[in-house]
Amino acid sequence: MTAFFKNKKAFLIFTLPLLLIYTIVIVYPVLQTLVMSFFEWDGLNTPTFTGLANFQRAFESKDLKVSFWNGVKYSLFIAIYQIGIATILANLLNLKVLRGRKFFRTSFFIPVVLSITVVSQLWLAIYHGEFGLLNTIFESMGIEYRQYWLFEPKSAIYAVAFVDAWKGMGYHLILIYAGLRAIPQVYFEASAVDGANKWQTFKNVTMPLMAQTYKISLTLTLTWGFRAFEAIYIMTKGGPGNASYTMPLMVYKGIFSLNNNGYAASTAVILLVQCLVVMFLVEQFFKSRAYDA
């Protein structure tokens, strides 16, 4: 590695294209959004500098508080579902007695590659209050229970979050399964010799050695929950009322309903800060919990 860095020409050849792409795709749009947040602009006329007015308007809006807490609910639901289910399934797939691992891995990963539009339309049909699969199952079982999943203020945000969580769970299953397979068997053998049961082995061996894997999964799930847009827009558009209204919908509303790209940019900056704070907190949480295998 030292010899490589001494060859500056080779280092530049290999890194500059990546840095250029990263700057164009990530850094420049973020800086442009930050600058635009200080202006009022309808997308056509000359932008007008307004300072912090857009941020003040955003923080005074009732939508921001609702969007923030809906984002928290959405993120936590996705994180608990995806990481929890993925952990259980990954440990089952890691059992030596299990056959057909490739089939199960592929089956669980299929929803990940499906279009979010297709998945949302599928679950719209499943959630339908009159003819949906869920209510039909309850009816066939003689249970007098009918739920309008997407039209109830208390259930709408969780109903959509479940769809997003169901779709992306396979991705985290593969991450966690790969992490399990990477742990040397000698650790498990030593744990068995010490008389540890399966729960003690999972708690004291598996979890510490997979801290970095769980850090990645937790960061991805939480930040995705705050940034989620497609499924919410397709299934509820933030309704009923503002029961499933989130910050990405505020950005969308700022551009297409309020015709104020500056206000939308300020909301996007607030969203970015939220995601950065989440990433920092996750990093701090796992900082003292990771061990190298």
Question: Residue 227 maps to which CATH number?
Answer: 1.10.3720.10
Considering the domain boundaries, does residue 169 fall inside one?
A: yes
Query: How many structural domains compose the chain?
Result: 1
Determine the Cα–Cα distance for residues 291 and 293; give it in Å rounded to an integer.
6
Which pLDDT score is estimated for 2?
58
Question: In this structure, what token pair is assigned to residue 128?
Answer: 């339908």
Considering the domain boundaries, does residue 236 fall inside one?
A: yes
Considering the domain boundaries, does residue 25 fall inside one?
A: no
* pTM (two decimals): 0.88
Considering the domain boundaries, does residue 242 fall inside one?
A: yes
Which pLDDT score is estimated for 291?
55
Amino acid at 20: L
Question: In this structure, what token pair is assigned to residue 156?
Answer: 């709408």
For residue 161, the enclosing domain spans 36-42+56-286
> Apex CA 209: angle with CA 72 and CA 207, to 5°?
50
Determine the Cα–Cα distance for residues 45 and 42; give it in Å rounded to an integer.
6
Helices (H), the chain: 2-6, 8-22, 28-36, 53-60, 62-93, 101-113, 116-127, 133-140, 156-182, 185-193, 198-201, 207-209, 211-227, 230-235, 247-256, 261-286
Considering the domain boundaries, does residue 66 fall inside one?
A: yes
What does the pLDDT look like over 130-182, one tens digit per residue? 888 888 888 888 777 778 889 888 899 999 999 999 999 999 999 999 999 88
Considering the domain boundaries, does residue 123 fall inside one?
A: yes
- pLDDT digits (tens), the chain, 293 positions: 555 556 777 778 888 888 899 899 999 999 999 999 999 998 888 889 999 999 999 999 989 999 999 999 999 999 999 999 999 999 889 887 888 888 888 899 999 999 999 999 999 999 988 888 888 888 888 777 778 889 888 899 999 999 999 999 999 999 999 999 888 888 888 888 888 888 888 888 888 889 999 999 999 999 999 999 999 999 999 989 899 999 999 999 998 988 899 999 999 999 999 999 999 999 998 886 655 54
Contact 261/255 with Cβ under 8 angstroms? Answer: yes
Considering the domain boundaries, does residue 9 fall inside one?
A: no
Considering the domain boundaries, does residue 232 fall inside one?
A: yes
